[in-house]
Amino acid sequence: MAAVIDRVPPAASAKVRRIGFIGLGNMGARMAQRLLAAGQPMVVCDIVPDILAAFAAEGSAVAEQPAEVSAAAEIVFLSLPTPQSVRAVCLGPSGVIEGNATKIVVDLSTTGPRVAKELARHFADKGITFIDAPVSGGVVGAEAGTLSVMAAGDRQAFESIESLLRLLGRNVFYIGSVPGLGQSMKLVNNMLAATNALAAFETLVMGAKAGLDPQVMLDVINVSSGRNSATLDKVPQCVLSRTFPLRFATELLYKDVRLCTEEAEEAGSLLWLGQTVKQILAFAVAQGDGGKDYATIIQHFERWAGATVGAESAHPGTSR
């Protein structure tokens, strides 16, 4: 470990509202940094020692287990990659539910509404309020504090943590009093974002194959009816330069889209385009792209068409 870490002092010694944060990955670390920079007393937990050491060096207390966090912090934030990991951290051995100091648990992850409702029931039995508050905006938004936050749960509890959420997001929405509604809103958003992105990728490749300059295409599209978040942000920032920085992993977008199709099927709402989007994302993951940013999916369309969008743009008919 890179630094000596101060372990969590007993909760009884804390006279102020301490914040716990579990999950310091690409998103979580940046959100936790914003809370810490705002002067919030923090206790953090993650499975990567070097990340914990970095937070300890900045004055955060460190916990080895989630239960240590909930034994020391009144409010616990979660930012974890999968529904399974959220459930395990909350309800598993040495989980958050075993602590005796926490009053509110705020899940910033994307789990789907069924997991959110399940967790809300278990925490309610312990007198803990659960707020599901998934976020949108990616790594850039997490670092800048410009995320959109979609919170659902008890209104009074939401209002008590709203100032903290506004350290993380520029747009904080109260979706409703039923836990899980925030998750449903996030799945709707991410399905639409994924659909827009894949449609943009394949049509921009078609345009490049026809001989159109990619930047000119974006200039036209972004002041016309075809514009979307991919043409406005993802393609200009990640594709044209051919850098494909990791902002949102393909496997995580696939997880969100899969959760959305599952919820739709359970509700009896057909997602014709959504099923195709899920299949393309599943293909990309199967090709070994799960850990890469989802912008790299455009490279499959480029390979099939023999044209490139961006700095290496090929002439029509030229293979890569």
Identity of the residue numbered 69? V
Sign of CA dihedral 77, 80, 83, 89: negative
Round to whole Å and give the CA distance between 231 and 250.
18
pLDDT at 317 (0 to 100)? 41
Choose, from 15, 117, 126, 186, the residue flagged as catalytic.
186
> What band does 312 get if pLDDT is binned at 50, 70 and 90?
low
User: Does the pLDDT value for residue 2 go beyond 70?
Assistant: no
Phi, psi of 175 (to 5 degrees): -85, -35
User: Does the pLDDT value for residue 5 go beyond 90?
Assistant: no
User: Does the pLDDT value for residue 1 go beyond 80?
Assistant: no
User: Does the pLDDT value for residue 66 go beyond 90?
Assistant: yes
**Nearest one of 208, 210, 211 to 239, comparing CA atoms:** 208
CB atoms within 10 A of CB 271: 17
pLDDT at 316 (0 to 100)? 42
Respond yes or no: is residue 103 known to be catalytic.
Answer: no
> What band does 311 get if pLDDT is binned at 50, 70 and 90?
confident
User: Does the pLDDT value for residue 148 go beyond 80?
Assistant: yes
pLDDT at 15 (0 to 100)? 38
pLDDT at 6 (0 to 100)? 42
Q: Where are the alpha helices (DSSP H) in the chain?
A: 28-37, 49-57, 66-70, 83-91, 113-125, 138-144, 155-168, 181-209, 214-221, 229, 250-267, 272-284, 298-305
Domains of the chain by start residue, with CATH: 11-177 (3.40.50.720), 184-305 (1.10.1040.10)
Dump pLDDT digits (tens) for 212-253: 999 999 999 999 999 999 999 999 999 999 999 999 999 999
Dump pLDDT digits (tens) for 264-302: 999 999 999 999 999 999 999 999 999 999 999 999 999
pLDDT at 17 (0 to 100)? 75
Residues ≥6 apart with Cβ < 8 Å to 265: none
